[in-house]
Amino acid sequence: MIKKSNQLTIKKIKALLLLPFLCGILAFNSVTIGNEIVNNNTLSDPEPTCINKQSKYDKGLDNYLKIKTNDLTEAIIYIVNIKTSETIRTIHLKPSQFHKVKNIPEGNHRVDVIYGTNYTETSENGSCKGYFKNVLVQKKPKTTLNFEKVQNYVPSYSLLIDIQEAL
């Protein structure tokens, strides 16, 4: 009888010790899943629909422009066709965010960058505008990105957007 009593006590103690451990695992997993959902919402919308209604795409070209911001940089990036001065795509990136702009039409393009805080979108008379309430720096780089197709080769690029380099 004493052995059975001791064994029951040991099982109860093990169960009591195991319970907080299991609760901790469940709590950790729910927090992680919650963060992933928030991060996916953040990353899934760097090309806001509102300000990209007139965007240009070439689905026949498998090219891209990888853009990443550093820890301190929030930016609005405009991909602009040099020949026509037409904005091909508009991207809003928060600090430490990465986005891959795909299917950019052929041509020579420049990347205009506005650094700021408090990104806002407004819609008036069917026209949408995305802007910063606090503009820090506006930069039009002299570098051009040539997305012209050469035989079967389509160039792609990577950019790091860093406000410290713009100052």
Higher pLDDT, 164 or 121: 121
pLDDT for 35 equals 32
pLDDT at 31 over 60: no
Across 123-141, average pLDDT: 86
What's the rounded Cα separation, in Å, for the pair 37 and 31? 10
What type of residue sits at position 73? T
pLDDT at 118: 92
Of 103, 62, 105, residue with least CA distance to 84: 105
| Residues in CB range of 89: below 8 A, 6 or more apart | 47, 52, 55, 56, 78, 79, 101, 104
Q: pLDDT band at residue 4, thresholds of 50, 70 and 90?
A: low
Instruction: Give me the pLDDT at residue 37, please.
Output: 29
- According to the model, what pLDDT value does residue 24 have? 59
Q: Considering only 9-23, 44-58, 62-76, 94-108, which range has the smallest mean pLDDT?
A: 9-23
CA distances from 64 to 37, 78, 114, 163 (A): 25, 14, 21, 22
pLDDT, tens only, 91-130: 999 999 999 999 999 999 999 999 999 998 888 887 888 8
Nearest to 79 by CA among 48, 56, 58, 62: 56
pTM: 0.68
Q: What percent of the chain has pLDDT over 90?
A: 34
- What is the reported pLDDT for 41? 32
Query: DSSP readout, the chain?
Result: -HHHHHHHHHHHHHHHHHHHHHHHHHHHHHHHHHHHHHHHHHHT-SS-TGGGTT----TT---EEEEEE-TT--EEEEEEETTT--EEEEEEE-TT-EEEEE-PPSSEEEEEEEEEEEEEEEEETTEEEEEEEEEEEEE--S--EE---BTTB---EEEEE-HHHH-
Report the mean per-residue pLDDT for the chain. Answer: 78
